[in-house]
């Protein structure tokens, strides 16, 4: 594998196994993995509490007027502070070493990074329902409705902060259906990354 630093961002539909694929991929490549770890690092960066950031993670305009008013000697609303703190952490970890980053608009944040490989993971509804029930062990009455709700929130957050459309395949190098399995998806991404880095110029 190339010695140059690279980043793989994984956006995903809820229930598609994107986080599991990211973890497996990071293991295969022996590189760092970031998901909710970004929240912990952003809390340290911003001075906001980690619990507060988790409560309002990946929301479109998550905070009430009372929360959004000037609170801590910063002019930005807290929703913007949370997003900007996460953006800063994403850039820092990408600069530090090769890694896999799941969600948090990382594909958009790292748009100017020529060695960023952007992946989107999707799955059939039946596959997502099975994974939500058995792998995630969620006890919701309707896994399909629950997945749709979370994806709607993710899309609203992404569209609001990036001014782009979440899940638009033109924004990604790879769009995979995880029906083939977690390990198979991770292996396909690994092979793509190796080919990507072997080229003299990044793929447009």
pLDDT in tens, 183-193: 999 999 999 99
Confidence of residue 48 (pLDDT cuts 50, 70, 90): confident
Give the DSSP per-residue string, 133-149: HHTS----S-HHHHHHH
State yes or no: pLDDT of 50 exceeds 60. yes
Distances (CA, A) of 22 to 26, 29, 71, 79, 190: 6, 10, 36, 27, 10
pLDDT above 70 covers a percentage of the chain that reads 86
CB 84 within 8 Å of CB 47: no
Distance in angstroms (rounded) separating the CA atoms of residues 203 and 173: 8
CB 115 within 8 Å of CB 4: yes
State yes or no: pLDDT of 73 exceeds 80. no
Confidence of residue 68 (pLDDT cuts 50, 70, 90): very low
Distance in angstroms (rounded) separating the CA atoms of residues 39 and 37: 5
Give pLDDT, residue 86.
93
Total residues found in the chain within this entry? 204
State yes or no: pLDDT of 74 exceeds 60. no
Helix or strand run (H / E) with residue 24: helix 18-29
Confidence of residue 65 (pLDDT cuts 50, 70, 90): very low
Distances (CA, A) of 18 to 51, 88, 122, 173, 181: 24, 23, 8, 15, 11
Distance in angstroms (rounded) separating the CA atoms of residues 115 and 118: 10
Domain spans of the chain? 7-193
Query: Side-chain half-sphere of 29: how many Cα atoms within 13 Å?
Result: 30
Give pLDDT, residue 70.
40
Which CATH superfamily, name and number, covers 7-193?
A: P-loop containing nucleotide triphosphate hydrolases (3.40.50.300)
pLDDT mean over 21-29 = 98
- Arithmetic mean of pLDDT over the chain: 86
Scan for tokens 């948090």, then name that residue.
104
CB 183 within 8 Å of CB 26: no
pLDDT mean over 122-127 = 94
* pTM for this entry: 0.85
Give pLDDT, residue 44.
83
Give pLDDT, residue 98.
97
Q: What is the 3-state secondary structure (H, E, C) of 67-113?
A: HHCCCCCCCCCHHHHHHHHHHHHHHHHHHHCCEEEECCCHHHHCCCC
State yes or no: pLDDT of 158 exceeds 70. yes
């Amino acid at each position: 594998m190339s010695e140059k630093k690279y980043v793989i961002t994984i956006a995903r539909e809820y229930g598609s196994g994107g986080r599991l694929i990211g973890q497996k991929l990071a293991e295969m490549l022996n590189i760092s993995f970031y998901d909710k770890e970004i929240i912990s690092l952003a809390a340290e960066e911003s001075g906001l509490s980690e619990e507060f950031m988790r409560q309002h993670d990946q929301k479109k305009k998550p905070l009430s007027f009372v929360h959004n008013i000037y609170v801590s000697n910063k002019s930005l609303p807290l929703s913007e502070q949370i997003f900007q703190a996460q953006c800063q952490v994403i850039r820092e970890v990408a600069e530090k070493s090769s890694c896999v980053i799941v969600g948090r608009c990382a594909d958009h944040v790292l748009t100017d990074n020529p060695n960023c490989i952007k992946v989107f993971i999707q799955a059939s509804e039946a596959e997502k329902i099975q994974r939500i029930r058995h792998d995630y062990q969620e006890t919701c009455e309707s896994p399909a409705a629950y997945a749709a709700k979370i994806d709607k929130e993710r899309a609203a957050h992404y569209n609001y902060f990036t001014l782009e459309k979440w899940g638009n395949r033109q924004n990604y190098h790879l769009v995979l259906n995880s029906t083939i399995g977690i390990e198979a998806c991770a292996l396909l991404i690994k092979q793509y990354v190796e080919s990507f880095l072997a080229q003299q110029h990044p793929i447009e």
